[in-house]
Amino acid sequence: MKGKRFLTVVGVLFLALTFAALPFISACAPAPTAPTAPTAPKPEDQPLKLGMTICMTGPAAEKGSPMGHGKLDCIKYINAELGGVNGHPIIADWYDNGYDTAKQVTLVKKLMDDGALFFTNNDSKTMQASIEIANSAGFAGIASFSSPICTNPPKHIYAQMPDYGDDWAAFANYYMANIWKGEGKPKMALELLNNTTGYGARDAATCLADSLGIQIVDVEEHTTTTISEMDAMTRIKALKPDVLFISSTPAPTAVVIKNAYDLGMYPGIVIGCAHASYTKALVDIAGAKVTEGVYGVFPTVNWGDNVPGMAKMTEYCQKLHAKDYGNMDYITSWAEALIDAEILRLALENSGYDVLAKGDATAWAAVEKNGIQKLDYDVQGLHGPVKYTPGDNRLDKSVRVFQVVNGVITPVTGWVDAPRIPYEKFPDKFPWAVAK
Amino acid sequence: MGLPCGIHNYTYDEDMAIIRTKTHWALLIGLFVLLFTCPLYLSNYWLSVTNLIGITIIAAIGLNILTGYCGQLSIGHAGFIAVGAFTAAVLTSVFKLPFLVALICSGLMAGFVGLIFGIPSLRVKGFYLAIATIAAQFIIMWVINHLKITGGFLGIAVPHASIGGFVFRSEASQFYLIITIAILCTFFAKNLARTQVGRAFVAVRDNDLAAEVMGVNLFYYKLLAFFIGCFLAGIAGSLLAQWTGFVTTEQFSIGESILYIGMIIIGGLGTALGPILGVIFIRLLQQVLTTILLPLVEAAFPALPAGFASGINPILFGGIIVLFLILEPRGIAHRWMLFKAAYRLWPFSY
């Protein structure tokens, strides 16, 4: 009771003192000044709010963290060295979604409430959870890594880069034009991770293999934790394929390639990889000898490539997040922030700040119509040029084909087209792609 | 129930009534007024958080019946929620059935799936049953991922709920739908605990051998607990599906299942109020750390590299939960009971 009485006395005293001090506090307020003529606000006082959800933590933090660093560093660079967008600073209104879809749903609503002009996101999983909200509100979103369901049928969600299905299409095109010299149809086997990363390639092959003149002889699946694919590779070997395409992450891809090597299949056939696995980690895990000559596609340039945007990105990365240097995901999201700034510039010039300042459905529509859909930008060479094409919400539509040469991932082409896959032509297989 | 001085129970009905005094009625009506006027003063964001809390409460009530009352540890609850979500998605999106039909079917489907995975509960309990329910989580996900009708790994779009031509499109309308169902589920759970079934659940939980000796049919009541718990999970899944508008299996991870266990433990196992308080605590903590604390810390140190504070979020989230369990292992509901007891006597110390 003594404690309770003491707390009561302290509480009453605190309230009494607060009331007693009010006149003194109000006396300290600045004296009213004579009204002055209104002046036009400066651009630096008129920020542009860009919404971002990033999986900085959670199960996908290994990708989300460098991606978050890349885009936030780039916004810092744009504001500090380029003076923002036409003098208007960009406010990065960002939240960590923790790779949690339920949280993502609430965060997209928060970004809409905050008056963000559009939003960006790293991954296909949480973007899929945002599709309905964004599409019904007309609140445009851009996903760095996406799945076909995000952009088909095309509405208000855009993809920064080609998806895993597009990887297959680009590689298949390249293979038919530059590698295949035999008679008739080449035989291709697919070794796929059992999620959207793998199934994107399978769906693309379902749509396009016939028209490209490729015969799919086998589709095998594996898990992210696989330690041996000998069974599957033995089945594939018996079918004598000309080419093996792997769409997976680095560790399982290394297992598949090592198994092919041990079975004497490789060298002897062509191996192509989708972009989720085709990084330096693959060569490190499988070894330079085993991976020598393996092809792969990737949608950005390499660190150290001679492109206009490389120097500044490298400088900021080494200054602010040195441990991310060498990580391609940092490049991806740095490039995404450059695209975001370009979208804001176009929207600003075509719609005016007053419209954007509303931060509501009018502003969202203006950004989409006069920003995103007017894009024609080279992204300082960091990845393929971005341009909106009606009916195709992928902004960048190209990848580069690489090959492991002397243990180093080396580009063998410039930007090659990753054509849009007409999923809607197969409504029985891909009902989600059909506009309702 | 503790009653104010001078109020006595003269009949069995009076003894069993949940609401006994005018103060109880006033508080309940006040709570409903406060709750149902939320859309007038909450932003879309906070309404969406409230909706998420409402859906989570329904699922947590189901788990509390299964684990809290009946003592059957389930670490596959997110899997049963997924069954409800995908059932609703398929019925409304593919077969174009009305929302209410899909809602009930989702509950029933999840309940029946729960029955299948509840069968081992007669033979195994404790950690062994937990492992069996983890298996349920993985089997359910595998099946959903490999069914064409569910959209497989890509998932499936779900239309918003509609009743009698009215589409619950806005966050405010969603709020009324979700909160109404959450209130009904809470009322059901509160009453279930006071029935013969509820008491049989508690008997099974406290000592299943003694319960069987007393004539409680273990197999029946354990399966009934699985059915009811998973039925509510299915209802929650159905609401979640139409609220988000899109479902994929990645939304229902094993981590979610463990979080649900955490919610009912933090709230207070085996109490009607526990799941509600636990869900509010966890969901608000997630949002406050993400949307308020993290931006504040980042803004306080603009000279540091962006994103430096992101690690604070999981550390604090885990830390607060651990601290809470150390300081109040019997859950928030117990703390609330202590507060009520102290408040009833205040300012007198006896």
Which chain A residues contact residue B244 at CB under 8 A? 101-102, 105, 129, 132-133
Question: Are the CB atoms for B45 and A110 separated by under 8 Å?
Answer: yes
* DSSP codes, B293-328: IHHHHHHH-TTSPTTTTTTHHHHHHHHHHHHHHHH-
How far apart are the C-alpha atoms of A220 and A229, rounded to whole Å?
9
Nearest CB neighbour to B154, from listed A92, A106, A432: A432
Pick the CATH number of A43-162+304-396 from 3.40.50.2300, 3.40.50.80, 2.40.50.140, 3.40.50.620: 3.40.50.2300
| Distance in Å, alpha carbon of A66 to nearest chain B alpha carbon | 10
With CB atoms and an 8 Å threshold, state whether B305 touches A125: no
Beta bridge partners, A417, equal A398
Q: Give the residue on A whose Cα is nearest the Cα of B145.
A: A195
Question: How does DSSP classify residue A383?
Answer: B
Nearest CB neighbour to B311, from listed A54, A57, A105: A57
Question: What residue segments make up the domains of chain B, in order of their start?
Answer: 48-275
Nearest CB neighbour to B306, from listed A76, A106, A133: A76
Q: Give the residue on A whose Cα is nearest the Cα of B305.
A: A320
Nearest CB neighbour to A101, from listed B251, B286, B306: B251
The beta strand positions in A55-205, using DSSP E, are 90-96, 119-121, 141-143, 157-159, 187-193
How many residues would you count in chain A? 436
Predicted pLDDT of residue B316:
86
Which chain B residues contact residue A152 at CB under 8 A? none
With CB atoms and an 8 Å threshold, state whether A98 touches B314: yes
Is the N-terminal amide bond of A267 cis, ω within 30° of 0? Answer: yes
Question: How does DSSP classify residue B21?
Answer: S
Which chain A residues contact residue B291 at CB under 8 A? 95, 107, 110
Predicted pLDDT of residue B318:
87
Tell me where in chain A the CATH 3.40.50.2300 domain(s) lie.
43-162+304-396, 165-298+421-433
Mean per-residue pLDDT, A276-292:
87
Structure tokens at B247: 């479902």
Q: A374 or A45: which carries more pLDDT confidence? A: A374
* pLDDT tier for residue A219 given thresholds of 50, 70 and 90: very high
With CB atoms and an 8 Å threshold, state whether A107 touches B291: yes
Residue A330, H or E segment:
helix A328-351
Q: Give the residue on B whose Cα is nearest the Cα of A94.
A: B295
How far apart are the C-alpha atoms of A132 and B178, rounded to whole Å?
18
Residues A15-31: pLDDT tens digits? 556 545 544 444 444 44
How far apart are the C-alpha atoms of A235 and A249, rounded to whole Å?
22
Of A210, A209, A217, nearest to A244 (Cα)? A217
Q: Give the residue on A whose Cα is nearest the Cα of B154.
A: A196
| Distance in Å, alpha carbon of A22 to nearest chain B alpha carbon | 28
Q: Which candidate in A106, A145, A315 is best for mutational testing of the B interface (most B CBs within 10 A)?
A: A106
Nearest CB neighbour to B155, from listed A57, A105, A128: A128
How far apart are the C-alpha atoms of B3 and B17, rounded to whole Å?
12
Instruction: Tell how strand A187-193 and strand A119-121 pair up.
Output: unpaired
Predicted pLDDT of residue A422:
87
Of A245, A243, A271, nearest to A185 (Cα)? A243
Residues of B with CB under 8 A from a CB of A: 43-45, 47-49, 52, 145, 151-158, 169, 171, 240, 243-246, 248, 250-251, 253, 255, 286-287, 290-291, 294-295, 305-307, 310-311, 313-314, 347, 349
Q: A243 or B153: which carries more pLDDT confidence? A: A243
With CB atoms and an 8 Å threshold, state whether A103 touches B49: no
Predicted pLDDT of residue A225:
82
Average pLDDT per block of 10 residues along chain B, 350 residues long: 72 83 90 93 93 96 94 92 96 94 96 92 83 91 90 86 91 95 95 92 92 92 95 97 90 90 91 93 91 85 77 84 86 88 72
The separation between CA A159 and the C-alpha centre of its own chain, rounded to angstroms, equals 7
Predicted pLDDT of residue A406:
92
| Residue A14 φ then ψ, to 5° | -60, -45
Predicted pLDDT of residue B14:
82
| Distance in Å, alpha carbon of B187 to nearest chain A alpha carbon | 25
* DSSP codes, B222-260: HHHHHHHHHHHHHHHHHHHHHHHSEE-GGGS-HHHHHHH
Question: Does CATH place domain A165-298+421-433 in 3.40.50.2300?
Answer: yes
Centre a 10 Å sphere on the Cβ of residue B350 and count the other Cβ atoms it contains. Answer: 4
With CB atoms and an 8 Å threshold, state whether A98 touches B152: no
Q: Is the pLDDT of residue A435 over 90?
A: no
With CB atoms and an 8 Å threshold, state whether B290 touches A133: no
Give the CA distances from residue A130 to residues A124, A261, A368, in Å, rounded to whole numbers and listed in that order: 10, 42, 17
Q: Give the residue on A whose Cα is nearest the Cα of B160.
A: A132
Q: Is the pLDDT of residue A58 over 90?
A: no
Provide ipTM, 2 decimals: 0.85
* pLDDT tier for residue A1 given thresholds of 50, 70 and 90: very low
With CB atoms and an 8 Å threshold, state whether B349 touches A105: no
Predicted pLDDT of residue A18:
53
Which chain A residues contact residue B145 at CB under 8 A? 194
Q: Give the residue on A whose Cα is nearest the Cα of B237.
A: A102
How far apart are the C-alpha atoms of A70 and A51, rounded to whole Å?
15
The beta strand positions in A103-207, using DSSP E, are 119-121, 141-143, 157-159, 187-193
Q: Give the residue on B whose Cα is nearest the Cα of A2.
A: B349
How far apart are the C-alpha atoms of A123 and A44, rounded to whole Å?
32
Nearest CB neighbour to B44, from listed A59, A100, A109: A109
How far apart are the C-alpha atoms of A260 and A231, rounded to whole Å?
11
Predicted pLDDT of residue A11:
54
With CB atoms and an 8 Å threshold, state whether A106 touches B52: yes
Residues A339-388: pLDDT tens digits? 999 999 999 999 999 999 998 999 999 999 999 999 999 999 999 999 99
Q: Which candidate in B154, B243, B263, B349 is best for mutational testing of the A interface (most A CBs within 10 A)?
A: B154
In angstroms, the first-to-last Cα distance of chain B is 18
* pLDDT tier for residue A8 given thresholds of 50, 70 and 90: low
Predicted pLDDT of residue B56:
97
Q: A24 or A281: which carries more pLDDT confidence? A: A281
Q: A7 or A275: which carries more pLDDT confidence? A: A275
How far apart are the C-alpha atoms of B218 and B28, rounded to whole Å?
37
